[in-house]
Amino acid sequence: MEISSSLANLTQLNYLRPSTCQLPGQIPSWLANLTQLIELHLSHNKQGQIPISIFELKKLESLNLYSNNLTGTVSLHMFMKLKYLTSFFLSLNDISFLPEPITNATLNRFVAIGLGSCKLSNFPDFLRNQDHLQVLDLSHNNIHGQIPKWAWNTSKETLMYVNFSHNLLTGFDHHLFNFPWPRLKILDLRSNKLHALPPVPPPSTLVYLVADNKLQGEISPLICNLSSLYFFDLSNNKFGGMLPPCFSNFSNSLTILNLWGNTFDGIIPQLCGEGSTMKMIDLSQNQFEGVLPRLLSNCRMLEFLNIGSNNLNDVFPSWLGTLPKLRVLILRHNGFYGVVGSPTTMFASPNLRILDLSTNKFTGLCGNPSPKRCENPKPSPLPTSSIEEDQDSWFNIEFDWKTILMGYGSGLVIGVVVGNLVTKKKQRWFLRTRKVQHKMCKRQLC
């Protein structure tokens, strides 16, 4: 079903937002009849080219064509015809955007710009003079080289969402100790070629994503100032050294901690305090050593824990069985030793789906149905936490467990992985950052 042509008669219409209806087909040319339109949101499922008639809607303030199958070429001059336009989103299409030179006198003052997947090779120069931007998306382009010095002065006091991910960026043209945007909420620099340590984000930051780069060095202790940090992803880089001990300070805000694929060493710091909101911890493929911190039992909301491929040396952590929401536990390729605890203790959580104990030094099982009696391990677990679960948390991560359990057998409740069956790809299904970004952007900016 396409957008009904009967809407063409509603010439006094101010707002048209059929995006959530996911209506297919091309963008109709009769939209030009709706001369009083202020907002036009047509994201999802549209195809073809952007009709020229859209640029005749002189009162348009917001144009959202995000995530369609639109093709063709559009230029900045076309958008300059819309004198009241303050936000436009073209991201996730197959559009070529031409950021032609334009005088500052005729340039709109934009609040939000989405030019992801628009085949850009450089930072559009017209952004240089923007001072009211709150949202800037330049992701999934071919922007190469260093982030220019002038970019740090763009909308210095207003920017809240910055997405430069999936480009070919190599570094920063200007040495900065801190990012200059005091209101920043979400920063996404994933999947570039960054090799120099990025500036420290401001305390306002909720989401900080720099995965899949070539970053090296130690985490700055100034990261401890991020008191509201929600999603922290440094995975697949070359970071090293010890983690700052302040990570437990984030326990009332941090929900996703992803550090896999680096060279962090030393002991794992306490990550969860009373009232922890942590749902995912991935510390795999590092060089952590020592024992598993017993205060992980405070992570009452934890659903995913991967500490595989480290140098941990500890007994089987049967105390993790007290975590009521735990679904995935990966301990593989460490130095865990002794017997594996009683299933009635370890598998107490009804939600556990994947357990990977392979490539350790375990000597067998104890407890029913095994004839071997379980003894109290040393060191002994901490007392049961009295944390009350936060049922009002606005953030919700969705899982596709049918995908996770595929290949583990029909009707299987717990997949005990005894070989190298859980690959990196299966583990990383958990991290659907696109959904996270849009949910958080909607909550924080709208």
Tell me the mean pLDDT in the region 187-213: 93
Rank 40-44, 266-270, 404-408 by mean pLDDT and report only the highest. Answer: 266-270
Q: DSSP of 169-186, one letter per residue?
A: EEEESS--SB-S-TT--E
| Confidence check: pLDDT of 344 > 60 | no
What separation in angstroms does the CA of 98 have from each of 115, 119, 255? Answer: 11, 9, 39
| Confidence check: pLDDT of 410 > 50 | no
- Give the phi and the psi of residue 443 in degrees, each rounded to 5: -70, -40
Give percent of the chain above pLDDT 90. 52
Contact 157, 136 (CB under 8 A): no
* pLDDT, tens digit (0-9, with 9 covering 90-100), for 293-305: 998 999 999 999 9
**What's the confidence (pLDDT) of residue 111?**
97
Q: Which DSSP letter does residue 318 get?
A: G
**Assigned token pair, 127:** 């952004």
Residues making up the chain, counted from first to last: 446
CA distance 303 to 353: 10
Q: From the CB of residue 305, how many other CB atoms can be counted at a distance below 10 Å?
A: 24
Q: Which domains does the chain have, with CATH numbers?
A: 1-100 (3.80.10.10), 251-260+276-429 (3.80.10)
What separation in angstroms does the CA of 135 have from each of 138, 438, 441, 442? Answer: 10, 12, 9, 11
Tell me the mean pLDDT in the region 251-259: 91
What separation in angstroms does the CA of 84 have from each of 40, 52, 90, 99, 300? Answer: 13, 17, 18, 19, 49
Confidence of residue 275 (pLDDT cuts 50, 70, 90): confident
Burial of residue 409, with CB atoms counted within 10 A of its CB: 0-12 exposed, 13-18 middle, 19 or more buried: exposed
| Confidence check: pLDDT of 369 > 90 | no
* pLDDT, tens digit (0-9, with 9 covering 90-100), for 134-178: 999 999 999 999 999 899 889 999 999 999 999 999 998 767 778
Tell me the mean pLDDT in the region 349-362: 89
pTM: 0.81
Q: Are strands 62-64 and 328-330 parallel, antiparallel or unpaired?
A: unpaired
Lowest mean pLDDT among 56-70, 170-184, 224-238, 247-261: 170-184
Q: Which DSSP letter does residue 191 get?
A: S
Tell me the mean pLDDT in the region 185-189: 96
- Give the phi and the psi of residue 406 in degrees, each rounded to 5: -60, 125
- Give the phi and the psi of residue 47 in degrees, each rounded to 5: -145, 180
Confidence of residue 403 (pLDDT cuts 50, 70, 90): very low
* pLDDT, tens digit (0-9, with 9 covering 90-100), for 309-338: 999 999 999 889 889 999 999 999 999 999
